[in-house]
Amino acid sequence: MSRIIINRRRLLTVAGVAASTLPLVGCDALDEMLSSEATARGLMAKANSLTYRVQRFLIGADSLAKEYSASEIRQGQRPNGSTDPTDATYIALRDGAFAGYRLSVGGLVDRPLSLSLDELRNMPSRTQVTRHDCVEGWSCIAKWTGVPLAAVLDEARAKPEARYVVFRCFDTMDLGLSGEVAYYESIDMLDARHPQTILAYGLNGEPLPIANGAPLRVRIERQLGYKMAKYIRSIELASDLAPYGQGKGGFWEDLGYDWYAGI
Amino acid sequence: MATAIDKQKHDINLQRTTIRRHGLMTRITHWTWAVALFFLLLSGLQIFNAHPSLYIGEQSGFAFDNSVLSIRAVRGADGNAEGLTTLLGRPIDTTGLLGVSGPEDGRTYQAFPAWLTVPSYHDLATGRIVHFFFAWLFAAAFASWFVASLINGHLRCDILPTFSDIRGLPGSFVEHLRFRFHHGRSYNGLQKISYAIVLLVLFPLMILTGLTMSPGMNAAVPLLTEIFGGRQTARTIHFAVMLLLVGFFAIHIFMVFAAGPINEMRSMVTGRYRIDREAGEGGTER
């Protein structure tokens, strides 16, 4: 008799354990409250502002991202996102080996600039071996050479009211039904003036390849890859991000990614 | 050696009383962790699905191989997609669960199936928002618990195993295997050791390996990647600790049901717990 009771108890135990794990499935019930306009999502996204503030407090303006030795470059830099822009303006420049390329620097500056690649290469340069961290989760170490963005901002004499640097790019991203939109990104002045923030024209000792953003891309070493715009067409200094795209500060940000990508 | 009659006498003498077992902070943090870990797990799997491979070292090997786990969909010999999981170089067919999942007419080609991710559809941006929100909640609960437990003695009295707890481990283990649970005020040796490992090793490890994946935190605390042997190793450890916590969760739930789910749940909700106590034995009702 007692044997039966124990068996029944054990059966109930196992059934209870199994039943208690049921909430694990059927999570599409949560999808609704996580859609782009949902309140719950907006509330949770506030945690990212907290992360931004705490990290800015902890990191300090000039602390450097880790730099590696050349021996740790074991592979080419893995390209991601658009790797071969098909925009007519870009193709024309590419076919002329970027000889006609000019970077325009405008917006809240006292002296708007239009710089050729040679002019950029003749400015002070910085070379750094750093780790690129993609938002997807992978990492890749490479050597980047370019002109510090701070030097370009000084040359253009950034106005004190400038709060952001906005990068406008040549590559058009396909958004399916909602059409096409040009890639753009933005960073604050703290990241813009960071010593490791460079406009890179060289990768692993060679001219920057097309797949990695030729002729010019930005490196922001304390943030994730999607902040580091490729195929830069122009730089604009701004006090507000609202006029750009959907106003969230970048192509991926408009699709729901965090503006601060230090995590 | 107790005889059957002795055992009967013992059972008659046994009195059942209710005591206050879990403090308010223990209960609040317990349920905060339960909710937070649920969402952290499912949003974490969503994030993992964006690049379903784990590596050792600072970087991911694309031109070389430092992968320890990868989950993907491949085209099989018969032309159908198969789920292929490679663990430490060993290929395992995981069609239906990992790599390829979902119904025959609506296959999903992603590492973890839709029913295990938040949100269920592929959306890395939303997965990250959910993950970082609950990461803050999880860490805040941990900090509160740790400080409170240091002050009120919970850590020293209830969590850290004593020498006699460790000596009694084999006995405690055998008792558990025989499904005999002693309902007392304090945790037994096995409980103490498993809670100490989860709370003092796995939880901090989870928070630190998570921070090691942040490029911002790498600049703030360069030591982080060195402690864990590189950002990608930290990501691998983060994943491995997740598996350990899932294992702990499964055993934890099983033990709740085996030891009496009503009593256990009541103690974790209201704090009140029914214990077995010998007649005439000391101890005050609190």
Q: Give the mean model confidence (pLDDT) for residues A205-232.
A: 97
Above pLDDT 70, what percent of chain B? 91
Q: Mean of the per-residue pLDDT values for chain A?
A: 91
Taking the CA of residue B78 and the nearest CA in chain A, the distance in Å comes to: 31
**Better-scored residue on pLDDT, A178 or A113:** A113
Mapped onto helix, strand or coil, the DSSP state of residue A169 is strand
Mean pLDDT, to the nearest integer, of B10-21? 68
B244, with CB counted inside 10 A (0-12, 13-18, 19+), is middle
CA distance B55 to B238: 12
Give the global pTM. 0.89
- Residue A205: per-residue pLDDT: 96
Contacts of A50 in chain B (CB under 8 A): 136
Q: What is the 3-state secondary structure (H, E, C) of chain B?
A: CCCHHHHHHHHHHEEEEEEECCCHHHHHHHHHHHHHHHHHHHHHHHHHHHCCEEECCCCCCCCCCCEEEEEEEEECCCCCEEEEEEECCEEEECCECCCCECCCCCCECCCCCHHHCCCCCCCHHHHHHHHHHHHHHHHHHHHHHHHHHHHHCHHHHHHCCCHHHHHCHHHHHHHHHCCCCCCCCCCCHHHHHHHHHHHHHHHHHHHHHHHHCCHHHHHHCCHHHHHCCCHHHHHHHHHHHHHHHHHHHHHHHHHHHHCCHHHHHHHHHCCEEEEEEECCCCCCCC
* Average pLDDT of every residue of chain B: 88
Residue B79, min C-alpha distance to chain A (Å): 28
Specify the pLDDT at position B2: 46
Rounded CA separation A225/A251 (Å): 13
A4: pLDDT strictly greater than 50? no
Residues in chain A: 263
DSSP A63-103: PPPP---GGG--SPPPP-S-SS---HHHHHHHHTTTTT-EE
Beta-carbon contacts of residue B23 (< 8 Å; ≥ 6 apart): B152, B154, B271
What pLDDT is recorded for position A261?
96
How do A217-219 and A198-203 pair as beta strands? antiparallel
pLDDT in tens, A52-100: 999 999 998 889 999 999 999 999 999 999 999 999 999 999 999 999 9
Contact status of B43 with chain A (Cβ, < 8 Å): no
Find the CB nearest B63 among A20, A75, A256.
A75
pLDDT over 60 at A5, yes or no: no
> What pLDDT does A3 receive?
46
Dihedral pair phi/psi, residue A104, rounded to 5°: -100, 135
- Chain B residue numbers touching A25 (CB-CB < 8 A): 115-116
Q: What is the pLDDT of residues B93-130, one digit of tens each?
A: 999 999 999 888 888 899 999 999 999 889 999 999 99
Which of B63, B125, B215 is nearest residue A223 as measured by Cβ atoms?
B215
What is the pLDDT at residue A71? 96
Is B132–A51 a contact, with Cβ atoms under 8 angstroms apart?
Answer: yes
State the sign of the Cα–Cα–Cα–Cα dihedral B199, B205, B211, B217: positive
Per-residue model confidence (pLDDT) at position B275: 81
Q: Do B118 and A64 touch (CB under 8 A)?
A: no
Q: Is the pLDDT of residue B280 over 60?
A: no
Residue range A171-217, pLDDT digits in tens = 998 776 677 899 999 999 999 999 999 999 999 999 999 999 999 99
Cross-chain residue pair A34–B130, CB shorter than 8 Å: yes
| Minimal C-alpha gap between B196 and chain A (Å) | 23
Decide which of A29 and B121 is more confident. B121
Residues of chain B with Cβ-Cβ distance to A133 below 8 Å are 213, 215, 231
Interchain CB distance below 8 Å, B217 and A262: yes
Q: By three-state DSSP, how is residue A54 classified?
A: helix
Residues B181-210: tens digit of each pLDDT: 777 777 888 888 999 999 999 999 999 999
B150/A251 Cα distance (integer angstroms): 47
Does the structure show a pLDDT above 90 at B171? no
Q: Which of residues 80-119 of B touch A (CB under 8 A)?
A: 114-119
Region B228-252: what's the mean pLDDT? 97
Q: Convert the pLDDT of each residue in A122-162 to its tens digit.
A: 999 999 999 999 999 999 999 999 999 999 999 999 999 99
Tell me the C-alpha to C-alpha distance, in Å, between residue A41 and each of A197, B111, B119, B124: 32, 24, 11, 13
Residue B126 and residue B109 in contact, taking contact as beta carbons nearer than 8 Å? no
Q: How many angstroms separate the CA atoms of B201 and B219, rounded? A: 25
Residue A6 pLDDT? 55
Indicate the residue of A44, A136, A258 with minimum beta-carbon distance to B50.
A136
Q: Which residues of chain B neighbour A63 with C-beta distances below 8 Å?
A: 219-220
pLDDT higher than threshold 90 for residue B76: no
In this complex, which of A20, A58, A136 lies closest to B220 when CB atoms are compared?
A58
Task: For A138, name the nearest residue in chain B, comparing CA atoms only.
Answer: B60
Contact A60 B117 (CB under 8 A): no
Indicate yes or no: CB of B261 within 8 angstroms of CB of A16: yes
Partners of residue A24 in chain B, C-beta under 8 Å: 38, 42, 116
| Secondary element (H or E) of residue A2 | helix A2-20
- Residues in chain B within 8 Å Cβ distance of A134: 51
Judging contacts by C-beta atoms under 8 Å, the chain B residues touching residue A139 are 58-60, 231-232
Tell me: the pLDDT tens digits for B53-72?
A: 999 999 999 999 999 999 99
CB-nearest partner of B42 from A27, A47, A261:
A27
The burial of B236, by beta-carbon neighbours within 10 Å (0-12 exposed, 13-18 middle, 19 or more buried), is given as buried
B53 vs A contacts (CB less than 8 Å): 138
pLDDT for B282: 44
pLDDT of residue B10: 53
Shortest distance, CA A222 to any CA of chain B (angstroms): 5
Residue with tokens 């029913």: B115
Q: Is the pLDDT of residue B1 over 50?
A: no
